[in-house]
Amino acid sequence: MRQDIRREGRNQERTTESFWDNGQPAAVNHERNGRLWRWQKYFSEDGVLLREDEHGERGLLLRRKHYDAQGALVREERFLEDGSRI
């Protein structure tokens, strides 16, 4: 695992990268003030992007993209503040 922590005024931003045992990326997560923020990326053991989640300023899930085993976009979902999907 590798982390990068930055401070800008009152805000603290952290990027965390985790890896599979074979060295391929497993996930890249971004946090701001302890809440998920921006795009989170999740990978297969082969390093293929499987899913991306976008979180807004307050950590709420806004969008989710699903990819197949070859990394092609299969489905995109949008979420409302109440958690319902569009």
Q: How far apart are CA 46 and CA 39, in angstroms?
A: 20
Residue 86 lies in a domain: no
Give domain status of residue 85, yes or no: no
With respect to residue 67, please indicate whether it lies within any of the assigned structural domains.
Answer: yes
Q: Residue 52: its pLDDT value, please? A: 98
Report the predicted TM-score, pTM, of the whole model to 2 decimal places: 0.90
pLDDT at 37: 96
* Residue 41: domain span: 2-78
Q: Residue 84 falls within a domain, yes or no?
A: no
**pLDDT profile of the chain (86 residues), mean per 10:** 96 97 97 97 98 95 97 96 82
Domain presence at residue 27:
yes
Establish if 35 belongs to a structural domain: yes
Residue 83, domain member (yes or no): no
Answer whether 55's CB lies under 8 Å from 64's CB: no
The closest of 75, 66, 77, 61 to 44, measured between CA atoms, is 66
Count: domains in the chain: 1
Does some domain include residue 62? yes
